[in-house]
A and B are shown apart, each in its own frame.
Chain A
């Protein structure tokens, strides 16, 4: 993406984010949040992170690859196990990075 396009994108996302933050304390301060929006918001983060993780691990150049001889998916599996056992973000990132470099020695 060209730099001008990237600037436009960042300003757009920034403006939108600011509007979200100002919405209920400024624009619609006298109204309540609709129930459907409340329900929708709960699932946005899990859906986004899951889609991005799956894509980062198994999609390259518009194609799906389940490469068993690639370090990243295995390192991600270690990270999932550590995340599940410790529920600690930094431990997960640390273990995942360490596993990546260990698996790179193997593959």
Chain B
């Protein structure tokens, strides 16, 4: 996987290389987003700009889905703002690794702290820690490190370059796949109903997320809430439904803990 970190450039490229396979999974979302944005009436330049400014796939899909359904400013802002809150978790998880870096580095890394970049970068940080005891590994790729123990120990920690490489790769892939969706989307007949790919994406992600009882309760109550509050203007019912779902999730956690 990653190189032995002999230079900043090598770390950066290793990050790019390890992130690259994830682009296969990301590119379809970028294309679906681009296509759905066009069919929701978002100008192409603005849809592309959103991929750089928001740079969060799930939230961007939610925004175009809600725009297509005629939702108002506030419900969209609240829903996507709430959905992106999970990035605080990634930020907290990364804090111990990047805390020592200069502010400009942390400002830069915060921009590329997406789900997929986090997943790759956090593995790099954990791997290096596991390999820290000398002679712990016998792999050929570690030969340089074990023959130069002094150099390795004195070496500045360059793993943030790896993080940047992973983040940059994902960023470039997201911009390009958005552009592809926008180009492609302009030529697709509306009869293909490719906008339906957005709720299908939600169904697929939901199925992956529903592993525990509390999450299932949150999802069920939120879905029922979305129907119960359907008549609220500007799709505010969605916000109410999500909040009710969160309450149901919290209540289930509480009840399960008491039952134990």
Chain A positions within 8 Å of B, measured between CB atoms, are: 1, 3, 5-14, 16-18, 20-26, 29-30, 32-33, 37-59, 62-64, 72, 75-76, 79-80, 83-84, 87-90, 92-93, 96-97, 100-101
* Cβ–Cβ contact A55 & B82, under 8 A: no
* Cβ–Cβ contact A48 & B62, under 8 A: yes
* Cβ–Cβ contact A47 & B203, under 8 A: no
A sample of 11 inter-chain contacts (CB < 8 A) reads A9-B63, A10-B50, A17-B54, A22-B91, A23-B92, A25-B109, A43-B245, A50-B245, A54-B241, A64-B227, A93-B32
Chain B positions within 8 Å of A, measured between CB atoms, are: 25, 28, 32, 42-43, 46, 49-50, 53-56, 58-59, 62-63, 65-67, 69, 72-73, 76-77, 79-92, 94-95, 98-99, 103, 106-107, 109-111, 113, 193-194, 196-210, 214-216, 218-227, 230-233, 235, 237-238, 241-242, 245-246, 249-250, 253
* Residue in chain B with minimal CB distance to A83: B207
Residues of the A chain whose Cβ atoms lie less than 8 Å from the Cβ of B98:
25
A71 to B28 CA separation, bound complex (whole angstroms)? 23
Q: Is the interface of A mostly helix, strand, loop or mixed?
A: helix
- Min Cβ gap A49→B in Å is 4
Residues of the B chain whose Cβ atoms lie less than 8 Å from the Cβ of A9:
63, 73, 76-77
* Cβ–Cβ contact A18 & B110, under 8 A: yes
Whether A25 touches B77, Cβ cut-off 8 Å, given contacts A32-B92, A33-B89, is no
Residues of the B chain whose Cβ atoms lie less than 8 Å from the Cβ of A100:
193, 196
* Cβ–Cβ contact B88 & A24, under 8 A: yes
* Cβ–Cβ contact B245 & A21, under 8 A: no
Number of A-B contacts (CB under 8 A): 269
* Cβ–Cβ contact B65 & A50, under 8 A: no
Residues of the A chain whose Cβ atoms lie less than 8 Å from the Cβ of B88:
20, 23-24, 33, 37, 41
Whether A22 touches B76, Cβ cut-off 8 Å, given contacts A14-B53, A46-B209, A80-B207, is no
Residues of the A chain whose Cβ atoms lie less than 8 Å from the Cβ of B194:
97
A46 to B250 CA separation, bound complex (whole angstroms)? 13
Most B CB within 10 A of own CB, among A14, A30, A87: A14
* Cβ–Cβ contact B206 & A55, under 8 A: no
Residues of the B chain whose Cβ atoms lie less than 8 Å from the Cβ of A52:
62, 65-66, 79, 199, 202, 226, 238
Whether A42 touches B81, Cβ cut-off 8 Å, given contacts A18-B110, A33-B88, A64-B227, is no
- Min Cβ gap B230→A in Å is 4
Residues of the B chain whose Cβ atoms lie less than 8 Å from the Cβ of A59:
69, 226-227, 230
Residues of the A chain whose Cβ atoms lie less than 8 Å from the Cβ of B203:
49, 53, 76, 79-80, 83, 92, 96
* Cβ–Cβ contact B238 & A55, under 8 A: yes
Most A CB within 10 A of own CB, among B80, B110, B253: B110
Known: A21-B110, A40-B250, A53-B223. 9 other contacts (CB 8 A): A3-B43, A20-B87, A21-B113, A24-B95, A46-B210, A50-B219, A54-B241, A63-B230, A100-B193
- Min Cβ gap B42→A in Å is 7
Residues of the B chain whose Cβ atoms lie less than 8 Å from the Cβ of A32:
92
* Cβ–Cβ contact A43 & B91, under 8 A: no
Neighbour of B226 across the interface among A8, A10, A51, CB < 8 A: A51
A80 to B86 CA separation, bound complex (whole angstroms)? 25
* Cβ–Cβ contact B222 & A24, under 8 A: no
A22 to B101 CA separation, bound complex (whole angstroms)? 13
